Structure 1
């Protein structure tokens, strides 16, 4: 029997649903580990984030996304897993692409939790 592990993801930002066209990604860990010597490692704290490609459709909430500094972003993946990012804000320089109507977004936040 097959198991669905990929496909459509659903994104909500403070309750407003975005139309996702590309993949969505979220980190599995909140630290980055690097081996210093066999059996010894160091850890670096990472900011939780969510990345996705969305459509710049008619009801796109530009003001909410660009001015929000304490948002809740929820991503429901096709496999049923859900990632919730709290204290979220947009980072980088998102742009609307006229050729395909897409926008690549990245939200960083205070806490990311897998449910």
Structure 2
């Protein structure tokens, strides 16, 4: 995708189940599968606690006239594909949306967050 090997950030594209959507900004992803928290006592650091974490892909979408925002709330078992400016492709498989989508009318934007099982978000 990237035709300029020096470009690292900027342009990005997103598609859900092969359907492209207007990405208004702030595409974020995390392939991380665990969350750690340091366990600190009054005397020293004792170690850490670890628990599972849902990998995710999220972004700010533009509410086009042909779009039905309510459809995002119903999305489950989706494949989310992101193409980044640095040439990387991020793929999320078997993902679902979390949180209800709310449109901000000043710029016709709404946030969507897809989450999945451990290992569902990969970088290629």
TM-score, normalization by structure 2: 0.79
Residue equivalent to 2:123: 114
Contact persistence 2:31–2:122 (CA under 8 A): no
Unaligned 5+ segments in structure 1 are: none
The Cα RMSD (Å) is 2.1
Instruction: Please give the alpha-carbon distance, in whole angstroms, between the structure 2 residues aligned to 1:69 and 1:39.
Output: 40
Instruction: Please give the alpha-carbon distance, in whole angstroms, between the structure 1 residues aligned to 2:36 and 2:103.
Output: 35
Q: Based on CA coordinates, which of the two structures has the bigger radius of gyration? A: 2
Q: Could you list the structure 1 runs, at least 4 aligned residues long, displaced by more than 4 angstroms after superposition.
A: none
Residue equivalent to 1:93: 100
After TM superposition, the structure 1 stretch with the greater mean CA deviation from structure 2, 5-14 or 37-46, is 37-46
Aligned residue pairs, count: 114
Whether 2:47 is the aligned partner of 1:40: answer yes
* Superposition deviation, residue 66 in structure 1: 2.6
Whether 2:73 is the aligned partner of 1:70: answer no
TM-score, normalization by structure 1: 0.85
